[in-house]
Structure 1
Amino acid sequence: LVRIIRENNLFSQLKLASKSGQAITGVVYQKILKLSNATNKKYKKGDIITFIQIDSKKLEFLFETLPSVSKIPFLIVFSIILLYLFIGLTFIIAIVVITVFVLANYYLALLNSKFQKLRMKSVSERTNNVSEVIDNIKFIKFYSC
């Protein structure tokens, strides 16, 4: 019964995340349709495409994982209490091990963030280049006749 409730909760989270990601993508597409190239000096097409493709997926992932992240403090406190009840004061060793792994995970998350920023920079450059090539192809086709 608990597993069924948990799976239903997970399904609801995924469905809400998917709908929110699609809504954000839809809003950005509507804004792009209203935006003219003459007035848009601030953002390149590649930046907007990057937002649609990558940043909306990040927000979707955030909506997907946020309910699970909010449970973590309660799970930690509950786990510490259970460790104390089951093994007594030797749970301090377990707390030290958990702390070491949390710090290692934090360090790895910082590295991941650094590499993600480098990746995003290269993706943005690539989409800008592709957008420029497409614009040039349109220009050549328009004036070729």
Structure 2
Amino acid sequence: MDMKLLQDTIDLLRSHIDSGTDIDWMEMDNRPVRDIADMLNAYELAYSRKMTVLACCMLIHTALDRHGKLQVQDNERLTRMLLDGDYLTGLMYRIAVKRKEWKLLSRLLPFHKRMQLNLLRKVPPEILLKELKHEVRSYLEQRSA
């Protein structure tokens, strides 16, 4: 596992996170993110592009994690978790656009919509994260060819 890539990506995300959010990147289970980071290292991409791809995946993963922890009986917490998930999704778009990763966005936008629909169908987050990894691999294969 390339800890430098992971740490640099976390630093990138922290530099984009608005103050007032209480999102802690260290509290998430980062095994799926580590898998994607390992996969990225197998491709000839500029380091900054690897960070962008990994950052977008981390934002999706964290949004999934937040949405998965919703508790209907806690309305204030429910509202906060929903808003955090929406914020993270918007941040993913903002970072990808700022870094001119149009083709990555064109790959992640349909995935994001499918993810939302699958969350409504109670598809486990682990399955969605596997699909995310597949989408990233397809993107990388297309970009490397």
Q: Same fold (TM over 0.5)?
A: no
| Bigger Rg, structure 1 or 2 | 1
Q: When you count helix as a share of all residues, which structure comes out higher?
A: 1
TM-score normalized with structure 1 length: 0.31
TM-score normalized with structure 2 length: 0.31
